């Protein structure tokens, strides 16, 4: 006759496996969104109020003090309480209900900016929220020119940006751009109204180079290129604004240039390192670009010359090398 003990062991093991599988089974989870600070009540599916149940949060048992009958009560929830909540029937650990709690806030008024850095091709609009909501948000943007609704094509990167092509140039009709942000807890919106000239703002000049001018201790030669995003500098020329200062001073000096992509600084302090930046603007419309990447340069300085003299000291010849700093000073710019 076969030994009944192994069969009993198998039955117990199978029961354990079933309970484990029931407790950890993957079901379609609900997603429940709640505001920070709200009181949250969760029902255990179709279970009666007085049914014996066990709740877990992210796999950890929740103390019975948070239960009202079979209902789970969470007071004044905060962000740390986001997670997966599961309800099991009595001691059988049969999963009756499961939800994913997402704690967050409604969106505040979004920040919207529209700009044309490639005039006259078109413009782009970008946006962001002033503070996080901690839950998913969706954005909808509409662009209206007069009575015509225009398409704003979403960019792949950055994701919160789209671009619009001008269908009519030199129009005096204003554009109206409305951005609406929505999440499970609320919605908000903002609107910009502008004409096409007001938002023209080139990208900063590129490839800025500054170098000393040989044999000129007070000069620096600065050159740059038009921003590559500016499509037609011949038809829509740019003017430039140059600023520079020695590192030892905080005050900038400025030069506005109506044409050309180079300038010679003639009033640099001899021997002082300079920081230099350039900005660009359409000749007639729009606003100045941001400053270019800063470059550094120091005016030309003469190589020190070593002077040799011979003096007689008690019958011996002594050769002395005078350091350049001990010689009479030449012109070196303003003294500090």
Report residue 309's pLDDT band, with 50, 70 and 90 as the boundaries. low
User: Do the two domains 111-194 and 206-297 of this chain adopt the same fold?
Assistant: yes
Cα dihedral angle (64, 66, 68, 74), rounded to 10 degrees? -160
CATH code, 206-297: 2.60.40.10
Cα separation, 62 vs 138, in Å, equals 33
Report residue 29's pLDDT band, with 50, 70 and 90 as the boundaries. low
Confidence (pLDDT) at 317: 45
Closest CA to 70 of 54, 86, 81: 54
Domain boundaries, the chain: 28-104, 111-194, 206-297
Neighbours of 110 (CB within 10 A): 19
What are residue 80's phi and psi, to 5 degrees? -70, -15
Q: Which residue has the tokens 């020329």?
A: 237
Q: Is the pLDDT of residue 18 over 50?
A: no
Confidence (pLDDT) at 92: 83
Confidence (pLDDT) at 250: 96
Report, as an integer, the average pLDDT of 329-333: 36
Confidence (pLDDT) at 213: 97
pLDDT digits over 140-158, tens only? 999 999 999 999 999 988 8
Report, as an integer, the average pLDDT of 235-242: 97
Q: Is the pLDDT of residue 174 over 70?
A: yes
pLDDT, greater one: 49 or 24: 49
Confidence (pLDDT) at 304: 76
> Which CATH entry fits the domain spanning 28-104: 2.60.40.10, 3.10.105.10, 3.90.330.10, 3.40.1180.10?
2.60.40.10
Cα separation, 132 vs 51, in Å, equals 39
pLDDT digits over 49-97, tens only? 999 999 999 999 999 999 999 999 999 999 999 999 999 998 788 999 9
216-225 sheet: strands from edge to edge: 206-213, 216-225, 262-265
Give the torsion sign (CA, 108, 74, 43, 55). positive
Min mean pLDDT across 22-26, 291-295, 298-302 is at: 22-26
Specify whether the CB–CB gap between 270 and 301 falls below 8 A.
Answer: yes
Three-state secondary-structure class, residue 91: helix
Record the tokens describing residue 327, joined without a space. Answer: 């010689």
Report, as an integer, the average pLDDT of 14-22: 40
CATH code, 111-194: 2.60.40.10
């Amino acid at each position: 006759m076969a030994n009944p003990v192994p069969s009993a062991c198998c039955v117990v093991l199978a029961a354990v496996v079933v309970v484990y599988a029931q407790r950890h089974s993957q079901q379609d989870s609900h997603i429940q969104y709640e505001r920070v600070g709200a009181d949250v009540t969760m029902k255990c599916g179709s279970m009666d109020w007085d049914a014996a149940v066990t709740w877990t949060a992210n796999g950890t048992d929740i103390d019975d003090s948070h239960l009202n009958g079979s209902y789970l009560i969470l007071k004044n929830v905060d962000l740390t309480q986001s997670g997966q909540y599961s309800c099991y029937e009595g001691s059988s650990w049969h999963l009756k209900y499961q939800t994913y709690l997402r704690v967050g806030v409604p969106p505040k008024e979004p920040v919207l900016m529209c700009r044309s850095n490639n005039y006259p091709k078109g413009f782009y609009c970008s946006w962001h929220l002033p503070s996080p909501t901690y839950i998913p948000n969706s954005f909808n943007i509409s662009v209206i020119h007069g009575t015509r609704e225009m398409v704003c094509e979403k960019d792949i990167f950055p994701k919160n940006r789209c671009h619009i092509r001008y269908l009519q140039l030199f129009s005096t009709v204003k554009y109206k751009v409305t951005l609406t942000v929505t999440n499970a807890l609320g919605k908000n919106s903002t609107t910009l109204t502008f004409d096409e000239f007001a938002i023209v703002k080139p990208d900063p000049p590129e490839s800025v180079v500054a170098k000393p001018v040989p044999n000129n201790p007070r000069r620096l030669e600065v050159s740059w290129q038009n921003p590559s995003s500016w499509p037609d500098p011949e038809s829509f020329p740019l003017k430039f604004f140059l600023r520079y200062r020695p590192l030892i001073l905080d005050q900038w000096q400025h030069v506005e240039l109506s044409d050309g992509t180079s300038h010679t600084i003639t009033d640099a302090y001899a021997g002082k390192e300079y920081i230099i930046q350039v900005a660009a603007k359409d000749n007639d419309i729009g606003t100045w670009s941001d400053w270019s990447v800063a470059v550094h340069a120091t005016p030309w300085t003469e190589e020190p010359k070593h002077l040799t003299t011979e003096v007689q000291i008690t019958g011996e010849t002594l050769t002395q090398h005078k350091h350049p700093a001990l010689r009479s000073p030449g012109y070196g710019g303003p003294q500090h």
